[in-house]
């Protein structure tokens, strides 16, 4: 009987030991499981992109290799949009005649630098270039056209509310990350319309055809106008202006597309308005040659095929050449 009692006690102790061993193993698995969950939770965090283009995965599917500027070591994110590879941040190279928005962005880490037109032509690093207006138009079309491209290219921050009170920030669907830098003037070292719009230089310039003042025969003073991309509200479009205000730069990878040459011995036809001005200038030049040979004011009316306006011009022009004559006093 005593032997049976000890046998029962021994069996009970053995079972208790087995239960303790099982409990100990399970408690060791729990921290491992907890550690695994912690690791997954950390990996699932969405990182923030410097270009303002944080997606649900934290990455831009169209991201390209970073651009390292050998001149100063700065690193820029880049993205492929259609067949083009663009900088996804504003150029921040400190070339002469460039500056930052000192009051909001002294080091240019947000808006980059503003550049004068002349400086912009040499601002891009080797292997990259200032885009042409046609290359900018390609960007606009790829991003949804004039009416929609602004929303797609704008960053998800820095933009004020629209006039209708809606959120002015963009979708940044292409990770282009355009921020509302406004424009700037070097004299003030500041910027205006920050939060409202942004502009980017192109390399193209519009030169007005030469014009001659009808009455003086002198060539009119004209000013070149420079093309740039403007993003405001949901839209993006190309503008031109003679203003030398500072604008931002986004460089495009590769060499600019060459202008197509005209066929040999074939001149491009001039627009009607330009041809009309050119014909007028030629006629004025011929008339001036005739006026130079006149000896008195009355001879203006003897010039063949001259109109009433040209007679008045002839008298004014003749008297400018001979102010000493009594008959020219009224002129």
Task: Answer yes or no: is pLDDT of 4 > 90.
Answer: no
**Which run of H or E residues covers position 40?**
helix 2-43
Residue 129 has what pLDDT?
Answer: 97
Residue 294 has what pLDDT?
Answer: 86
Among 91-95, 135-139, 169-173, 305-309, the range scoring the smallest mean pLDDT is 305-309
DSSP secondary structure letters along 56-81: TTSS-TTEEEEEE-TTT--EEEEEEE
The confidence band for 217, taking pLDDT boundaries of 50, 70 and 90, is: low
Task: Answer yes or no: is pLDDT of 82 > 90.
Answer: yes
Pairwise CA distance, residues 236 & 140, whole Å: 7
Task: Answer yes or no: is pLDDT of 289 > 50.
Answer: yes
**Which run of H or E residues covers position 17?**
helix 2-43
Give the highest mean pLDDT range of 223-227, 230-234, 307-311.
230-234
The confidence band for 146, taking pLDDT boundaries of 50, 70 and 90, is: very high
Residues 157 and 170: beta-carbon distance below 8 Å = no
Task: Answer yes or no: is pLDDT of 127 > 70.
Answer: yes
* pLDDT tens string 172-199: 999 999 999 999 987 566 898 999 999 9
Residue 41 has what pLDDT?
Answer: 28
| Better pLDDT: 308 or 249 | 249
Residues 106 and 92: beta-carbon distance below 8 Å = no
Match 């729990």 to its residue by tokens.
30
For the chain, the average pLDDT equals: 78
Of 181, 206, 155, 18, the closest CA to residue 92 belongs to 181
Residues in contact with 272: Cβ distance below 8 Å, sequence separation at least 6, in sequence order:
none
Residues 177 and 155: beta-carbon distance below 8 Å = yes
Of 210, 228, 229, 230, the closest CA to residue 220 belongs to 210
The pTM (predicted TM-score) of the whole model is 0.62
Task: Answer yes or no: is pLDDT of 258 > 60.
Answer: yes
Residue 15 has what pLDDT?
Answer: 41
Query: What's the distance, CA 182 to chain centroid?
Result: 11
CB atoms within 10 A of CB 184: 25
Task: Answer yes or no: is pLDDT of 311 > 70.
Answer: yes
């Amino acid at each position: 009987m005593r032997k049976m009692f000890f046998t029962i006690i021994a069996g009970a102790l053995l079972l208790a030991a087995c239960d303790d061993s099982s409990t100990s193993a399970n408690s060791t698995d729990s921290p491992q499981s907890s550690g695994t969950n912690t690791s997954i939770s950390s990996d699932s965090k969405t990182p923030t992109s410097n270009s303002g283009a944080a997606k649900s995965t934290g990455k831009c599917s169209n991201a390209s290799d970073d651009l390292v500027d050998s001149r100063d070591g700065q690193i820029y994110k880049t993205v492929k949009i259609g067949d083009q590879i663009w900088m996804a941040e504003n150029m921040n190279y400190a070339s002469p005649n460039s500056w930052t928005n000192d009051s909001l962005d002294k080091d240019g880490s947000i808006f980059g630098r503003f550049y004068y037109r002349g400086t912009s032509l040499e601002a891009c690093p080797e292997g990259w270039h200032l885009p042409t207006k046609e290359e900018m138009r390609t960007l606009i079309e790829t991003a949804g056209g004039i009416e929609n491209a602004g929303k797609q290219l704008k960053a998800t921050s820095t933009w004020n509310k629209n006039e209708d009170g809606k959120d002015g920030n963009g979708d940044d669907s292409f990770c282009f990350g355009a921020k509302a830098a406004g424009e700037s003037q070097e004299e003030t070292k500041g910027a205006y319309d920050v939060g409202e719009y942004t502009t980017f230089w192109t390399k193209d310039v519009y030169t007005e055809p030469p014009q001659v003042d009808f009455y003086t025969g002198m060539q009119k003073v004209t000013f070149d106008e420079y093309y740039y991309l403007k993003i405001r509200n949901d839209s993006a479009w190309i503008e031109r202006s003679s203003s030398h205000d500072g604008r931002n730069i986004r460089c495009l990878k590769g060499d600019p597309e060459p202008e197509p040459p005209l066929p040999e011995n074939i001149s491009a036809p001039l627009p009607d308005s330009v041809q009309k001005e050119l014909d007028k200038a030629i006629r004025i030049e011929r008339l001036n040659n005739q006026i130079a040979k006149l000896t008195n004011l009355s001879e203006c009316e003897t010039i063949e095929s001259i109109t009433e306006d040209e007679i008045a011009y002839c008298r004014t022009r003749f008297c400018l050449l001979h102010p000493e004559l009594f008959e020219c006093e009224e002129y």
